[in-house]
A and B are shown apart, each in its own frame.
Chain A
């Protein structure tokens, strides 16, 4: 099996990212590829560039050097990555980042404005279905502050699936959860990843989270230290 951009859903080739303030070299030539449906964990000490890598792969920011390929296509060709991101990628964050003024049902609909064209009613129905899928349908009309942290992360997970992405990016998704809730949310990730054949990248500090992955990438100082796929 060859191992270039064409064989991967997303492929980062020798990524370099430098933040101007403080001249931080967050990424120093990182090369990783993720195949469709693959479950990858990224671990490493704080500040080693995990989030930066995830943001690059999620097209939230552009690298200063190197190239990212999505389905073999170099992203630097595209002036506008918002559309890509809206339809192909789902994000889950450590602190959930739900919109406080919107109910669970409405939060799930936020990405749908940029997804395939749906009527307001279809959006609401789809949101209901997704909340059902993550087990918080009963809480659909609640505001984030009325939900437990576990429920909030489930709603965030439902939101990440709003436009049926092919890839989920999760940055320490259990970092703010107690171990009970963490296990439940991780089970949910696992089952969704299987049933929807999602590529799933999870940044984590926790060995339990990393152990669930098909593959673990260990980073340090903006470089890949080890990658279980290449071991």
Chain B
């Protein structure tokens, strides 16, 4: 017999209790893994968008780093374009705006106002039957394919914002993008974006001319020059220029998602630890005499601790597997819901799974520690008298 076999046999002796504990833990851990995945996927998606579009710096109004509440003049964009080290600038107005359904209900939708000569958006794939926005066009809109599906709109249909039926937008394209929330949003001409959001420019991306191998240093030089730009007519505005990596960690929406994910993880951890504690404490209590015997035949406290902790960790590991499955199913179910499928990808990255499994094993160790300690410190003579 192996020590592990003994541990497993202890778990199978109360199959119902073991199963319920595993199930409870798996649900807690599953929701935790799902949220960690959502948070991770959103960040990765933003990061990869900048990466693929070869954006070196992201510029927003300083102090408004979410991007959605940033607002500054086009003059600053022009000044940025004039910097000799700057290869390309791509500006936009981005905000969440109410889109009115035919029924009169409205949904918040992420819209992006674009200049047609913006760099980096060549990778948008127009689906058959549609076409790219054209220069000088107004009141035209391209729908991300998730949004199009949610709204049940196709090329040629009309879209109304803020209940303003006199000023409808005509759908000219449905597009695919590798950025999940672009697919959940819409793209309009820059000037329409300004009208719909009431903002001038919310941000711009910069591609830096790279001549030396140390591109990080070159980017840093441009970053400082960008932050030094001033608009004489709007002296309160400062720009914040960040590398995409820094940007992603500072965006307040992403921070919020991350915070929620970790909060739910903390709650799952607490619930998990308590339920583990309860199960293992009961199990130790029931086996007081047995533990006395193990001590009587010479098992030192440390081996008793390994046994109880081993049981807790095995329980937790099974729950981690179950939780991963639950998270996987849950994410796929979530993407079926029109409320959230615009910004959720159902992928479960390995790091996320490992993080979730790590936390679950921690649950096992934390929840098993006290019962294990109690078991190890039972006086063998007392334990043998117990019944």
> A110 touching B297 by the CB < 8 A rule?
yes
Contacts of A91 in B (CB 8 A): 296-297
> B296 touching A58 by the CB < 8 A rule?
yes
Contacts of B9 in A (CB 8 A): 101-102, 106
Contacts of A97 in B (CB 8 A): 289-290, 292-293, 296, 384
Is A83 positioned at the interface, with any CB of B under 8 Å from its CB?
Answer: yes
Complex Cα–Cα for A60 and B13 (A): 28
> A120 touching B2 by the CB < 8 A rule?
yes
The number of chain A residues touching the other chain, given as a range, is: 20 to 34
Is B232 positioned at the interface, with any CB of A under 8 Å from its CB?
Answer: no
Quick one: which of B12, B289, B303, B380 contacts A61, CB cutoff 8 A? B380
Mask: chain A, 46-89; 1 = CB below 8 Å from B; 0 = not: 00000010010010110000000000000000001011011101
Is A93 positioned at the interface, with any CB of B under 8 Å from its CB?
Answer: yes
Is A4 positioned at the interface, with any CB of B under 8 Å from its CB?
Answer: no
Count of B residues near A, CB < 8 Å? 26
CB proximity of B288 to chain A, nearest CB, Å: 12
Contacts of A120 in B (CB 8 A): 1-2
Complex Cα–Cα for A77 and B294 (A): 23
Is B379 positioned at the interface, with any CB of A under 8 Å from its CB?
Answer: yes
Complex Cα–Cα for A83 and B290 (A): 19
Complex Cα–Cα for A47 and B199 (A): 91
> A85 touching B381 by the CB < 8 A rule?
no
Contacts of A85 in B (CB 8 A): 296-298
* A:94-118 near B, CB below 8 Å: 97, 99-102, 105-106, 109-111, 113-115
> A109 touching B1 by the CB < 8 A rule?
yes
Is B207 positioned at the interface, with any CB of A under 8 Å from its CB?
Answer: no
> A113 touching B303 by the CB < 8 A rule?
yes
Select from chain A the residue with minimum beta-carbon distance to B290. Answer: A99
CB proximity of B6 to chain A, nearest CB, Å: 7
Select from chain A the residue with minimum beta-carbon distance to B10. Answer: A101
CB proximity of A217 to chain B, nearest CB, Å: 20
> A82 touching B299 by the CB < 8 A rule?
yes
> B303 touching A114 by the CB < 8 A rule?
yes
Contacts of B301 in A (CB 8 A): 82
> A93 touching B297 by the CB < 8 A rule?
no
Complex Cα–Cα for A139 and B5 (A): 20
CB proximity of A161 to chain B, nearest CB, Å: 11
Contacts of A60 in B (CB 8 A): 295-296, 380-381, 384
> B298 touching A163 by the CB < 8 A rule?
yes
A124 and B293 in contact, given A55-B381, A101-B10, A163-B298 (Cβ under 8 angstroms):
no
Complex Cα–Cα for A163 and B297 (A): 9
Looking at chain A's contact residues, the main secondary structure is helix
Select from chain B the residue with minimum beta-carbon distance to A100. Answer: B13
> A111 touching B381 by the CB < 8 A rule?
no
Contacts of A102 in B (CB 8 A): 1, 6, 9
CB proximity of A61 to chain B, nearest CB, Å: 5
Select from chain B the residue with minimum beta-carbon distance to A61. Answer: B381
Is A200 positioned at the interface, with any CB of B under 8 Å from its CB?
Answer: no
Is B300 positioned at the interface, with any CB of A under 8 Å from its CB?
Answer: yes
Complex Cα–Cα for A113 and B5 (A): 13
Complex Cα–Cα for A115 and B297 (A): 10
Complex Cα–Cα for A102 and B13 (A): 10
Contacts of A58 in B (CB 8 A): 296
CB proximity of A141 to chain B, nearest CB, Å: 12
Complex Cα–Cα for A126 and B297 (A): 16
Is A39 positioned at the interface, with any CB of B under 8 Å from its CB?
Answer: no
Contacts of B381 in A (CB 8 A): 52, 55, 60-61
Select from chain B the residue with minimum beta-carbon distance to A112. Answer: B1
> A93 touching B300 by the CB < 8 A rule?
no
> A110 touching B380 by the CB < 8 A rule?
no
> B290 touching A82 by the CB < 8 A rule?
no
> B303 touching A93 by the CB < 8 A rule?
no
Complex Cα–Cα for A13 and B289 (A): 29
> B380 touching A111 by the CB < 8 A rule?
no
> B293 touching A99 by the CB < 8 A rule?
yes
Quick one: which of A55, A100, A111, A123 contacts B297, CB cutoff 8 A? A111
> A123 touching B1 by the CB < 8 A rule?
yes
> B299 touching A86 by the CB < 8 A rule?
yes
Show 16 residue pairs from A and B whose CB-CB distance is below 8 angstroms, ordered by the A residue. Answer: A60-B384, A61-B381, A80-B300, A87-B298, A91-B297, A97-B289, A97-B292, A97-B293, A102-B6, A106-B6, A106-B9, A109-B1, A110-B297, A110-B299, A115-B298, A159-B297
Name B residues whose Cβ lies closer than 8 Å to a Cβ of A.
Answer: 1-3, 5-6, 9-10, 12-13, 289-290, 292-301, 303, 379-381, 384
Name A residues whose Cβ lies closer than 8 Å to a Cβ of B.
Answer: 52, 55, 58, 60-61, 80, 82-83, 85-87, 89, 91, 93, 97, 99-102, 105-106, 109-111, 113-115, 120, 123-124, 159, 162-163
List 6 other contacts, CB 8 Å, given A83-B298, A110-B294: A60-B296, A82-B299, A89-B298, A100-B290, A102-B9, A113-B303
